[in-house]
Structure formats: C-alpha cells, structure tokens
Amino acid sequence: MESSALPVEDELPANRRWNIVGDSAALRHVLDQVEIVAPTDATVVLLGETGTGKELVARAIHEASERRHRRFIKVNCAAIPSGLLESELFGHERGAFTGAIAQRIGRFELGHGGTLFLDEVGELPLELQPKLLRVLQEHEFERVGGTRTINVDIRLIAATNRDLPGMVEAGRFRDDLYYRLNVFPIAIPPLRDRPDDVDALVDHFVGEYASRMNRHVDVITRDTREVLRSYPWPGNVRELQNVIQRAVILSPGGRLILPPLPVSPPPRPAPDEPNTLEGMQRALVTRVLEETNGVIGGPNGAAVRLGLKRTTLQSMIKRFGLSLPHEAAESEIHSHGRCRRLGREHEESWALA
C-alpha cells in the first residue's frame, strides 16, 4: 500500500496532541500510558504535585477514548463543602433535606456515557467513600433521599496530590476504594525532575502570551533559559506559566525580561529534625506553602491542604515569621481565569488546524 505524504492525526507525535507540551523522556512515558489506557474503560488515578498537569492529562485520556463525543465532567472534591458533595455527585430528590426544594440531577447522572474527573479525591469524606465504591463496582446508586436505583455508565478518572497509601494507613481513606481506584495509576513527575521540558514550555507560553498581548518577543538569552531551567518550580507548570505571563508584560522590546523569581525554598529539614511540635508545624506549613506557590486560600490553597481556617494559617505564618512569594495569591487567582480562557483558545485553534 502506498503511504501518504501528509501526516494524518495518528501519526503526529503524541505530545503534539491534546496541547501537552514537552518532550522529556518522563513526559513521553506519561503520554505512552495515556495512549495505552485511554481506549479501555479502566479507572485511572493521576498522581502529582500541584500544577504538574493532572487535569490536562485527564482531558487527554477522555479525548483519546471512545467517549470523546460525550461529556467530560469535572468535580473538585476539595472545592465543595463535604455536606453538599453527596448531592453534587449523586443528586437528590425533592425534600431530601432542608432546602432541597426541587429534584436535582447529580454529576454521575449528567455524565452518563462520558467521563467523570474526580479531582482531589483524597478530600472525599470517609462516609461518602462506600457510595463511590458501589458506583465503580456495580455502576449503580440512589439519589440522596431517593429509593430508585439508577444505573450509570461512566468512566472515572481521579486525581490527587495527597499520599493515598499514607491516608489508608491513617484510616482516612478506605483501602477497598483505594485498590479500586488504583487500577491504573499514572504519576506525573514534578517539573524540576524533567528540566528538558522547560525550554519547550517557555517557548510555548511566550508565543501564547506575546500574541495575546500583541508583543513581539523573539529573543530569549542563554542566561535567561539557564535561570528558568535551574529554578526548582515548586508550583510546577502553572508557576512557570504565571512567570512567563509576567515576563511578557515586562518585555516591551524583543527580548524576554524575567521578573525576580522567588528565592529558592530552603532545603527540607532532615527527617530527624525538627523535634519540637512547633518546629514540625513550621516545617509542614513551609512545605505546603512551597507546594502551593504561597497561595493560602481557595480549593488548592495551603489552608485547605492543612485542614486549617485561612485566618488560623495566616496567624501561624506571621508567628513563624515566614514570607510568601510576592503577589502569589493574587497572581494565582488571576492566572486561573486566564489559563482557562487560554485553554479554550487552544482547543479552538487545534480544531481549526
């Protein structure tokens, strides 16, 4: 058979599909796993630090599956108060609880035939875990306050940056659910462990933001590249994206000018240090703030991760004399909105390409 000179979509390199940028061996391994698991209906659990691209990979799995023409529904377990999560997921009947003035269809029913992305699954309250296990195993559930059993066909992709085995050991996550979710785990490595992706990501985001802001940035010096490659990126690709956005704003000429990067986080204490309660708290708060890039509030913020009220965390930060990367909280919220819009544009331009 004669081969065509024009590449068909399946012949494009895996990392050109789904807007996932980077060509490191570690990222290629992730994309290979996406290709393998996507066409099956297996449950996938995505493991990785904040900002590594878990949601992007979840969408890629959906896009590469037979379910791509059906819905991709996302539920962030950390963003919904635990009392409302059951109704959000499974729906409720009218009068099921005070305030349930009408029947409500939950996300599982809405996503019938498609994919449900359960983000921050480690935050799922213990009492809801058996119900999730039942949907995964028996494909059935009842709405809150209802008696009729509803059958659904849904593919579940879960994500977490928590240590699920540790949570199982501590009795905060059911072991049967953990094993059921862990059918096909995919670990997305932090950006500092795949510096080979940094150049491509920088070029990608410079191109995107320059065209959005009508700027022409075509010079990135070797020193700038070196600074970007060697920075440890505690907030991973999301942090890099924010830094590039700021850099493009700061670069009216042709050369990319970087904003000051936060001072490298202090090395983590040795395992046998510190040995006071206060020292441990300080180390934990420092580490979580590093991981959230200094963001305190919001569903992915340090307060939620530490199980503290925002104001309690703020007074601890003050008491421990910790400093935050400047403007962290603000730029995070700001760039979230922009990321989303950017993501949609990607999809549109990809569809046109």
Ligand X SMILES: Nc1ncnc2c1ncn2[C@@H]1O[C@H](COP(=O)(O)OP(=O)(O)OP(=O)(O)O)[C@@H](O)[C@H]1O
| 45 contacts 268 by C-beta, under 8 angstroms | no
Please identify, using beta-carbon distances, which residue of 80 and 96 lies nearer to ligand X.
80
* Residue 331 engages ligand X in binding (rule: CB under 6 A): no
The tokens of 288 are what? Answer: 């979580």
Q: Which residue is nearest to ligand X (CB)?
A: 53
* Residue 56 engages ligand X in binding (rule: CB under 6 A): yes
Binding footprint of ligand X, residue count (CB under 6 A): 20
| 89 contacts 75 by C-beta, under 8 angstroms | yes
Where do runs of H (alpha helix) occur along 250-308? 277-291, 302-306
Smallest distance, Å, CB 68 to Mg ion? 20
* Residue 54 engages ligand X in binding (rule: CB under 6 A): yes
Residue among 55, 197, 208, 291 that touches Mg ion (CB under 5 A): 55
* Residue 246 engages ligand X in binding (rule: CB under 6 A): no
The tokens of 21 are what? Answer: 């940028």
Segment lying near ligand X (by CB under 6 A), choices 45-53, 105-113, 256-264, 276-284:
45-53
What single-letter amino acid sits at 34?
A: V
Segment lying near Mg ion (by CB under 5 A), choices 24-32, 39-47, 54-62, 128-136:
54-62
Residue among 38, 158, 198, 237 that touches ligand X (CB under 6 A): 237
Segment lying near Mg ion (by CB under 5 A), choices 52-60, 91-99, 231-239, 287-295:
52-60
CA distance 177 to 168: 10
Residue among 24, 33, 50, 251 that touches ligand X (CB under 6 A): 50
The tokens of 193 are what? Answer: 């462990």
Please identify, using beta-carbon distances, which residue of 49 and 93 lies nearer to Mg ion.
49
Which partner in Mg ion, ligand X, none is near 301 (CB below 5 to 8 A by kind)?
Answer: none
CA distance 92 to 106: 7
Task: Measure Cα distances from 240 to 222, 231, 299 in Å.
Answer: 17, 10, 20
CA distance 174 to 124: 10
Smallest CA-to-CA distance from 203 within 23, 14, 3 is with: 23
* Residue 88 engages ligand X in binding (rule: CB under 6 A): no
Secondary structure class of 160 (helix, strand, coil): strand
Residues of this chain that interact with ligand X (CB under 6 A) are: 19-22, 48, 50-56, 161, 201, 237-238, 241, 300, 339, 343
Residues of this chain that interact with Mg ion (CB under 5 A) are: 54-55
